Structures are given as structure tokens and as C-alpha cells.
């Protein structure tokens, strides 16, 4: 029959700086299934080094190690983890129980890495009954005595029904009574056929074993066999089924991920204050992203609203060239529009929704003993609708008033203030260039456009302005509102053609020009975009800072839990498992931060809109973006700590103080 374990000329040398320690100098050993071996020797003789190699926690520098006839050198990292998970059970002097978890979860922990589905509660309970601790299932390790903790560790070592139990000084931290109980347990297991390899330096402990191997200075110096192997357990000769559990695909197919999520929640809760603080960083970052985007979008929407009130379908037809040519064009070359042109344009019913001639000038407005020089705007009936100039106080002109050149006026708020102070101007008579006008309304306030006060004006019917006030028979320009925005270009060319025909214009140089508002719109939207980008980058910086906070906490967490990582590797966690566990934890934290951040961000936005009256607009897009961002932050900043954890060597991690 093949030996379970075979060492041949195994050497292990540790290097610390320039010093080398030869812990094993050529050890050969053959173990059969069912044996109970005690490895004895003075401290530093290489017992633990050998046990670590046997348990695949460490690899030899030279020599061969065969397990069930298979050379372990040929195994990949993941396959070795698979072997540790299903063929080896470890019991350590320091117990290495995870303190956050209760007894039951500690015992069934190896199952997470087994690649099998299920909760394995029954398995764990059965093993706990075996070690006499079934009544302590929901206790945490801290609530147990040393002897009880070691019994839990033995139950954990047994849960995967391993081929060999490796025990390194299992009674080293226990008193005589507890040592005795543990040894009786191990002995009982051996009597049922379990192979046990145990390190001890106490002869009375070694006396429980059937075979005692003594080491000195990295060599086996004696090997005494009192009892042969026990054959109660069915003999195992195959390795392949074990190796299959190390298959990469298995990771997604089983409960591993949900196990990791559960553990991540546990460990986040275990350090509540710390987790809260690092989550807070992400929360602030995401909240500011949401609030900033809401603000940016709100500003954009407000601007668009404003543009719409200006008339996005608006065309302005003016005399003079679009190309600025100084005095190259004489005054006579400028096209002078008349009311007839306005009527002709209004005839284009399918293309033109509204049109109005306008004439600008300036004059003196007088009321009682006050006078003020102001802008005079002669406008048509439809102008009020085209430019949103309908008064909120008073009324707009009627078409009749425009046709009959009546002396009615709508005055801007600046003029109201200058002429009337706080009294009501509607119905009063004012003089404009010494002609009496009745005030019928107050124009909606528009504020300043550049240095120009848009509210310092008096609007009167365009006909009145031309023939009675300004004494001109031509217009300054014509406003046209196109029926549909997508027809702007067509409307432009049709109107252009119409004007050429009516004014008998030929040649390249138009003596008039037609402009639309798209230029204006472009300028405004680029302004809001710049603002959005600025706000966005502030938010991104705060998210970056939050992410660095997460990375920092994860690094601390990895360092703090080095021994836990070592233990997990010892019970069969592969590098991917460890990495995933830490990634799930960091993404968990950033995601929690992200979700609360979204809520906070929306709250802040609403507050800004209520309290400060700012325009805000929270979009689903920004919520999705923020969620995505927080996940990516978790992945990005968790990756390095997680890799650091995953790449730890099992022995080094276990020894970490
Ligand atoms: P034992 O378990 O018999 O007390 P070990 O196998 O732990 O002995 O150690 C054997 C020798 O190797 C000792 O001299 C020890 O100092 C050294 N040694 C063990 N592990 C390491 C390590 N990780 N780095 C450096 N030296 C080590
Ligand atoms: Mg030791």
C-alpha cells in the first residue's frame, strides 16, 4: 500500500538578511494512513518547519514531497489550497479561531472554500457534539476557555473529514486537565482511523501517539513505533477529486460569494466606528457628486427656460451687412424695411408663426415734474408673444391700437421707478417727446444685458412710433418667429429670397442680414457645461479623497487580519478567495456610502432649492452614475489591499504577530 505521505531528503532554509537558518537539512519520512505520530525535539529543531511543509503551508527548497503518491511540486497554488481544504485539518497552539464569528460559523468555515453548496450546519453540529461542545454553538471564542477553544479548533479540523490532522503543539497553551481531554479526543479520532501528525516537546503528550519521531537540528534522529497504524477508516488512494474543487469556475457556482458578503457585513460591523468614518468619506463624495450634478443640471434647465422665453425660434432681420465692413457700404445701401415687408413675411403662413416690425429710438419721458430720457421701442401686436413682453400688470396692445397708431404706452420698471416712484402708473398720462400717452401696462422685468438696462424703456405701437414720435417711414428691423425650430434654415432662405425680390436686390452683398438665436444658445450652453465640469471635478476630488480613505482602512484591515488570512489559507482559501473577500468588503463599504450619499445628495439638493431657491434637477442618470462610481471606487481602492492580502504566504501570515 502507498504511504499517505512521503518526504525524501527535504531541506528548508530561511533567509533573514545575510543570515541563513537551516531549519531542515534533509528529512525523509513515510507516513501510512491510520498512524498517530508525535514529532518531538527541542525548540528550534525544525518540528514546525516540517509540519508546515507536510500541511502544504510552506514548500521545501529541495527534496521531494509526495502526498498519496502525487508529487506536490506539480500542484498549482490553487490545487494546493484544495488539498489543504479537503485532505488536511490543522490544529494550532494558538487555536486561531476567528473572534468575530460564533463557534458554529468557525467550525463550518472550511466549507466556504470547499466548492460545495449548502450551509453545513448539520456537519458542524455533529463535529461539535464529537468534541462535547454542542451546547456552545452560538458562543464566540472569547466566551470559551482555552481547552474549549482548542476543541472547537479540532471540530473545525474535522469538518471536511480530512485524511490527515496536523497538530502543532495542540496542548501548548493548555493546563494538564485540558491537555488530557484534548489528547483523549485525538486518540479517539486515531482509533477511528484518522491519521494524526502532532508536534510536541512534552514526553507525556507524545506518549499518546503510536509512533514517536525525534528531531534535532533539522534532522530526524530517532523514529520509534509502539503501535502500528489503525485501519478503521476506509483507505484513500486518490487525489483527483480533491483537485477538482480547486477549479476556477466553482467560485461563482457555489455559496462562496454570499459567504463573503455575509463575512464582509460581519467585519464591517465588527469595527463600527472605523467603518462608519471611512464610509462617511464616500458618503460625502457621492453626496457632493449628486448635489453638484443636480445644481449643474438645474442651472442648465433654468438657462434653457430663459432661452425659450427669448424665443429659440426667433429670427431677427436687420438692415446692413452681417459682415462688418466699416464704411465700405454707404448708408444708401442699407435695406430699409417697411410695414409692407412685415405683412409679406406674415403671409408665409406655413413657415412663420408670428412676426413683428420694430423701430428703436430714444426720447424724453415726462410725468408731472419728473423727466427721464429712455429708449423708445415701437413694436407690433405679435411682438408681445414673440419676446414674452406681455405685461403682468396692465395689458398688452390690441391689434386695433397698433393699426390706428394710438398713443398708448407700456413702460419698463426702471422708468416706472424714475417717473412714478411707488405710485401706480397704470391709467396715468405721460409725455413722450411732448406727445401725451396713456400708460396701459408695466413691461415684465428683464434685468441687465451687459451694461444695458433692459428695463429702461417705453414700448409703444410701432406705427405710432414711426409716424408720430420718431418721424421715420421705415423700421429698424423685423422679428420673425419660425413655426418650427428645425425649419430655421429654410425660413431664413425663404425670407432672404422674399426680401431680395421685394427690394430688387442683386449681387453677392446683401444689404440686410438675418440672425438667429442658436449662436446665443451655444454660448450659454457652453457656459453651463464649463460650470458643470467645474462642479463635477470638485465632486470627483472629494470622491477620490473618500476612496483613499477606504484604501487606507482596507490596508489597516489587511495588516490587522494577517493571521486570519493565514488561517483561511490553511483551511483551503485560494488567493482569489482572499482577494474577493477583501474586495467585497471594500465595495460593500463604498456601496453603503454611495447609497447613503445619494440620499444625502438628493436631500441637500432639495434643501438648496427650497432654502436658497436655486434651480436643481436630480436625474436618474446621476443616481446611477453615483452608484456605479462608488462601486468602482471600492474596486479600485480595494484592489491593492486585497492583492496584498491574497499574496501573503500562509506560514508567514500565521506566524505574524
Ligand atoms: P520548532 O518548531 O522545532 O521549535 P521551527 O521549525 O519553528 O522549530 O524552527 C526551526 C528553525 O528555523 C529555528 O531556528 C527558527 O528560528 C527558524 N525559523 C523558523 N521559521 C522561520 C522563519 N519564518 N524565518 C526565519 N527563521 C525561521
Ligand atoms: Mg514550533
* Residue 409 burial class via C-beta count within 10 angstroms: exposed 0-12, middle 13-18, buried 19 and up: buried
State the distance from the centre of ligand 2 to the C-alpha of 38, rounded, in angstroms.
13
User: How many helices (H) does the chain have, and how many strands (E)?
Assistant: 22, 22
State the DSSP string of 460-481: EEHHHIIIIIS--SSBSEEEEE
For ligand 1, atom 21, the nearest C-alpha belongs to 14
State the DSSP string of 282-345: HHHHHHHHHHHHHHHHHHHHHHHHHHHHH-TTEEEEEES-SS--TTSS-GGGS--B-HHHHHHH
**Which residues does ligand 1 sit against, CB inside 6 Å?**
14, 16, 21, 23, 41, 43-49
CA angle 186-49-176, nearest 5°?
Answer: 35
Report the chain's mean pLDDT, rounded to a whole number: 86
| pLDDT tens-place string over residues 236-281 | 666 656 565 545 555 555 567 777 888 888 888 888 898 898 889 8
For ligand 1, atom 26, the nearest C-alpha belongs to 14
Beta-carbon neighbour count of residue 541 at 10 Å?
Answer: 12
Atom of ligand 1 nearest to the CA of 651: 23
Atom of ligand 1 nearest to the CA of 51: 6
State the distance from the centre of ligand 1 to the C-alpha of 165, rounded, in angstroms.
21
Residue of 46, 58, 201 to mutate, ligand 1, most atoms within 8 A of C-beta: 46
Residue 193 has pLDDT above 50, yes or no: yes
| Reported confidence tier of residue 61, pLDDT bands at 50, 70, 90 | very high
Residue 334's pLDDT is 77
Cα–Cα distances (Å) from 395 to 298, 413, 439, 440, 441, in that order, read 32, 15, 10, 6, 5
| Reported confidence tier of residue 325, pLDDT bands at 50, 70, 90 | very low
Atom of ligand 1 nearest to the CA of 652: 23
| pLDDT tens-place string over residues 141-150 | 999 999 999 9
Closest by Cα among 10, 6, 7 to 63: 10
For ligand 1, atom 27, the nearest C-alpha belongs to 14
Q: Given the DSSP bridges, would you call strands 314-319 and 88-92 parallel, antiparallel or unpaired? A: unpaired
* Residue 375 burial class via C-beta count within 10 angstroms: exposed 0-12, middle 13-18, buried 19 and up: buried
Question: Could you say which ligand is closest to the alpha carbon of residue 94?
Answer: 2
Distance between CA atoms of residues 372 and 366, nearest Å? 6
| pLDDT tens-place string over residues 327-380 | 444 444 678 899 999 999 988 888 899 999 999 999 999 998 898 999 999 999
Residue of 10, 12, 21 to mutate, ligand 1, most atoms within 8 A of C-beta: 21
State the distance from the centre of ligand 1 to the C-alpha of 44, rounded, in angstroms.
6
Residue 179's pLDDT is 94
Residue of 23, 51, 657 to mutate, ligand 1, most atoms within 8 A of C-beta: 23
User: Which residues lie near ion ligand 2 (Cβ < 5 Å)?
Assistant: 48
Atom of ligand 1 nearest to the CA of 41: 3
State the distance from the centre of ligand 1 to the C-alpha of 58, rounded, in angstroms.
12
Atom of ligand 1 nearest to the CA of 215: 3
Residue 42's pLDDT is 93
* Crossing angle between the packed helical segments 562-570 and 518-560, to the nearest 10 degrees: 80
Residue 330's pLDDT is 46
Residue partners of 603: CB distance under 8 A and separation at least 6: none
Question: Could you say which ligand is closest to the alpha carbon of residue 655?
Answer: 1
Mean pLDDT of the region 34-44: 94
Residue 324 has pLDDT above 60, yes or no: no
Residue partners of 405: CB distance under 8 A and separation at least 6: 461, 463, 464, 467, 468
Atom of ligand 1 nearest to the CA of 43: 4
Residue of 10, 12, 14 to mutate, ligand 1, most atoms within 8 A of C-beta: 14
Under DSSP, the state recorded for 610 is I
Contact 468, 437 (CB under 8 A): no
Closest by Cα among 433, 410, 44 to 201: 44
CA angle 138-139-143, nearest 5°?
Answer: 175
Atom of ligand 1 nearest to the CA of 16: 25
Residue partners of 247: CB distance under 8 A and separation at least 6: 115
Residue 58's pLDDT is 93
Beta-carbon neighbour count of residue 18 at 10 Å?
Answer: 5
Beta-carbon neighbour count of residue 112 at 10 Å?
Answer: 26
State the distance from the centre of ligand 2 to the C-alpha of 159, rounded, in angstroms.
25
For ligand 1, atom 1, the nearest C-alpha belongs to 44
pLDDT-above-70 percentage for the chain: 91
Amino acid at each position: 500500500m502507498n504511504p499517505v505521505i512521503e518526504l525524501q531528503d527535504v531541506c528548508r532554509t530561511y533567509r533573514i538578511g545575510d543570515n541563513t537558518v537551516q531549519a531542515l537539512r534533509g528529512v525523509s519520512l513515510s507516513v501510512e494512513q491510520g498512524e498517530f505520530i508525535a514529532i518531538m525535539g527541542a525548540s528550534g529543531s525544525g518540528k514546525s518547519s516540517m509540519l508546515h511543509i507536510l500541511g502544504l503551508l510552506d514548500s521545501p527548497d529541495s527534496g521531494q514531497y509526495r502526498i498519496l503518491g502525487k508529487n506536490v511540486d506539480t500542484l498549482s497554488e490553487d490545487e494546493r489550497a484544495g488539498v489543504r481544504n479537503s485532505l488536511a485539518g490543522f490544529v494550532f497552539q494558538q487555536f486561531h479561531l476567528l473572534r468575530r464569528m460564533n463557534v458554529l460559523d468557525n467550525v463550518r468555515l472550511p466549507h466556504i472554500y470547499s466548492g460545495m453548496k449548502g450551509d453545513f450546519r448539520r456537519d458542524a453540529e455533529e463535529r461539535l457534539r464529537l468534541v462535547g461542545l454542542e451546547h456552545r454553538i452560538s458562543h464566540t471564542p472569547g466566551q470559551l476557555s482555552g481547552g474549549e477553544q482548542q476543541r472547537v479548533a479540532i471540530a473545525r479540523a474535522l469538518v471536511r473529514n480530512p485524511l490527515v490532522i496536523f497538530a502543532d503543539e495542540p496542548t501548548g497553551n493548555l493546563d494538564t486537565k485540558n491537555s488530557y481531554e484534548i489528547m483523549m479526543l485525538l486518540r479517539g479520532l486515531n482509533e477511528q482511523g484518522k491519521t494524526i501528525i502532532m508536534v510536541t516537546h512534552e514526553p507525556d503528550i507524545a506518549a499518546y501517539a503510536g509512533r514517536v519521531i525525534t528531531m534535532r537540528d533539522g534532522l530526524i534522529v530517532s523514529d520509534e513505533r509502539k503501535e502500528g497504524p489503525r485501519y478503521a477508516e476506509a483507505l484513500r488512494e486518490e487525489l483527483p477529486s480533491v483537485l477538482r474543487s480547486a477549479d476556477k469556475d466553482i467560485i461563482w457556482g457555489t455559496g462562496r460569494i454570499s459567504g463573503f458578503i455575509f463575512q464582509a457585513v460581519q467585519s464591517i460591523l465588527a469595527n463600527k466606528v472605523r467603518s462608519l468614518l471611512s464610509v462617511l468619506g464616500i458618503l460625502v463624495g457621492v453626496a457632493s457628486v449628486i448635489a453638484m450634478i443636480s445644481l449643474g443640471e438645474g442651472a442648465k434647465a433654468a438657462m434653457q427656460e430663459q432661452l425659450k422665453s427669448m424665443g429659440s425660434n426667433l429670427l431677427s432681420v436687420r438692415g446692413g451687412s452681417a459682415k462688418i465692413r466699416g464704411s465700405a457700404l454707404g448708408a444708401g445701401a442699407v435695406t430699409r424695411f417697411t410695414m409692407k415687408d412685415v405683412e409679406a413675411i406674415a403671409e408665409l403662413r406655413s413657415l412663420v408663426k408670428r412676426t413683428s416690425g420694430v423701430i428703436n429710438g430714444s426720447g424724453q419721458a415726462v410725468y408731472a415734474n419728473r423727466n427721464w430720457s429712455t429708449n423708445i421701442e415701437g413694436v407690433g401686436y405679435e411682438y408681445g408673444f414673440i419676446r414674452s413682453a406681455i405685461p403682468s400688470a396692465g395689458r398688452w396692445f390690441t391689434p386695433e391700437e397698433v393699426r390706428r397708431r394710438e398713443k398708448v404706452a407700456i413702460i419698463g420698471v426702471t422708468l416706472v421707478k424714475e417717473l412714478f416712484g411707488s405710485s401706480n402708473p397704470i391709467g396715468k398720462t405721460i409725455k413722450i417727446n411732448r406727445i401725451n400717452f396713456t400708460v396701459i401696462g408695466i413691461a415684465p422685468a428683464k434685468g441687465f444685458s451687459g451694461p444695458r438696462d433692459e428695463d429702461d424703456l417705453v414700448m409703444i405701437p410701432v406705427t405710432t412710433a414711426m409716424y408720430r414720435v420718431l418721424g421715420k417711414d421705415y423700421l429698424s428691423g423685423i422679428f420673425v418667429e419660425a413655426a418650427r425650430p428645425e425649419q430655421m434654415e429654410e425660413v431664413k432662405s425663404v425670407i432672404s429670397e422674399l426680401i431680395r425680390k421685394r427690394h430688387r436686390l442683386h449681387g453677392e452683398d446683401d444689404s440686410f442680414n438675418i440672425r438667429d438665436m442658436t449662436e446665443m444658445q451655444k454660448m450659454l450652453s457652453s457656459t453651463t457645461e464649463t460650470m458643470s465640469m467645474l462642479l463635477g471635478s470638485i465632486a470627483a476630488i472629494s470622491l477620490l479623497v473618500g476612496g483613499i480613505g477606504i484604501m487606507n482602512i482596507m490596508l489597516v484591515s489587511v495588516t490587522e487580519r494577517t493571521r486570519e488570512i493565514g488561517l483561511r489559507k490553511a483551511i483551503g482559501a485560494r488567493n482569489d478567495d482572499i482577494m474577493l473577500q477583501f474586495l467585497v468588503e471594500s465595495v460593500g463599504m463604498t456601496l453603503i456610502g454611495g447609497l447613503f450619499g445619494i440620499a444625502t445628495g438628493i436631500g441637500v439638493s432639495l434643501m438648496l432649492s427650497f432654502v436658497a431657491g436655486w434651480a436643481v434637477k436630480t436625474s436618474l442618470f446621476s443616481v446611477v452614475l453615483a452608484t456605479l462610481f462608488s462601486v468602482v471606487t471600492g474596486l479600485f481602492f480595494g484592489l491593492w489591499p486585497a492583492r496584498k492580502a491574497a499574496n501573503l504566504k500562509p506560514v508567514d501570515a500565521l506566524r505574524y504577530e
